[in-house]
Amino acid sequence: MLRSRKPAANKVKLERSPAKPPPRDVLTQYSAGVVGMGLMGTSISACLLAAGHSLHCVETDAARRRSARARLLKLLTHAVAEGAMRENPSTLIGRVAISADIADLKSAEIVVESTVEDIALKRQVINEIEKAVSAQALIGSNTSAIPVTDLQSGAKHPERILGLHWAEPAHITRFMEIICGQQTTMANARRAMRLARGWGKEPSLLRKDIRGFIANRIMYAMLREAFYLVESGFASIADVDRSLRNDMGYWITFAGPFRFMDLTGIPAYAEVMKDLLPDLNCATGVPALMRKVADSGACGVSNAKGFYPYTPQQARQWEKLFIEFNYKIRELADRFPEDIGDIPRSSRKN
């Protein structure tokens, strides 16, 4: 059963000091909602439950609705087995309700919309969420690329609508981009930033919504260059993958690109940029290889068809290893938080 709305005083507390995560006992009084229990909605729900929220999930597909609790329990149980969570999964599962009706979200103070990437559907879902929740409740859309300003148009209270961009598996990764649309207020963005800290995230704030946000803009620039190198015959898919894993893969969890330049010497980058930037691919169309693979029906390991060949067994093994790696990298990253340089060595755990 959902807990009742917590007193307004807690909301004020959440807004006052955006840097610190709210204590768990505040989060346990905070009721949350998730709409869409697909791949991401399920791991987002696991994250919110693990953070202490009581939760209401909405899913229109009957089969997905029926399997949602079991899928959630599996993620939470695995998180405990990996040592990432101490709470009893059965207790946490007792704090979730699942239904088909968005009106059931009435007591939610933060709702995460995680339906499919379709602007008309997302707008309609947000409209229904607004009818259900209070005027102060935050509404975050887990969109990959739809401008938040477009999702705000026609809303009753657009100032509390923002983008909440999660990365899969959402209960493990520290990634979160919080995106302001034109009408989002900074006070609401700060509320979301603080909540995100309570969910174990290291959130980034995007003050204006630009297509693709931060990480996707940079990742797609990288993907375009990767396709260019393969399609032009400079390197194979495996060679591109191997270079990136062993170069960027070794530092990117520790330092972003700017910190990395600080660590490795700025002048060389300025020098290389002069000649290399004009040489990089800047095509605007979908690469032919991408088109061919996508048109063949390949979804990746989920249907054992991708850029690499897989037997169904190999595909399952890759999925399993990816989750295992996520736990390991999270464990490592937690030992090296972003403000590591500001912490005296003696007070560090490792």
Ligand X SMILES: NC(=O)c1ccc[n+]([C@@H]2O[C@H](COP(=O)([O-])OP(=O)(O)OC[C@H]3O[C@@H](n4cnc5c(N)ncnc54)[C@H](O)[C@@H]3O)[C@@H](O)[C@H]2O)c1
Which residues contact ligand X by CB under 6 A? 35-41, 58-61, 64, 114-117, 121, 125, 142-144, 166, 168
Which amino acid, residue 130? E
CB contact set of 300 (below 8 Å; sequence gap of 6+): 306
What is the residue whose two structure tokens read 């993907």? Answer: 223
Question: How far apart are CB 189 and ligand X at their closest, in Å?
Answer: 19
Sheet order of strands, 175-180 included: 96-99, 54-58, 31-35, 110-113, 138-141, 161-166, 175-180, 202-206
Q: Which is nearer to ligand X, 39 or 333 (CB)?
A: 39
Question: How far apart are CB 116 and ligand X at their closest, in Å?
Answer: 5
Measured distance CA(164)–CA(114) in Å, rounded: 10
Question: How far apart are CB 105 and ligand X at their closest, in Å?
Answer: 11
Question: How far apart are CB 340 and ligand X at their closest, in Å?
Answer: 27
Q: Which is nearer to ligand X, 14 or 32 (CB)?
A: 32
Q: Which is nearer to ligand X, 15 or 117 (CB)?
A: 117
Closest-by-Cβ residue to ligand X is: 38
Q: How far is CA 167 from CA 173, 181, 257, in A?
A: 6, 20, 19
Measured distance CA(75)–CA(78) in Å, rounded: 5
Enter the tokens of residue 128. Answer: 């229904």
Question: How far apart are CB 2 and ligand X at their closest, in Å?
Answer: 17
Measured distance CA(237)–CA(245) in Å, rounded: 12
Q: Which is nearer to ligand X, 71 or 191 (CB)?
A: 71
Question: How far apart are CB 10 and ligand X at their closest, in Å?
Answer: 28
Q: Which is nearer to ligand X, 64 or 157 (CB)?
A: 64
Beta-bridged to residue 162, according to DSSP, are 140, 180
Question: How far apart are CB 64 and ligand X at their closest, in Å?
Answer: 4
With beta carbons less than 8 A apart as the criterion, state whether 138 and 166 touch: no
Q: Which is nearer to ligand X, 14 or 48 (CB)?
A: 48
Q: Which is nearer to ligand X, 19 or 116 (CB)?
A: 116
Beta-bridged to residue 161, according to DSSP, are 139
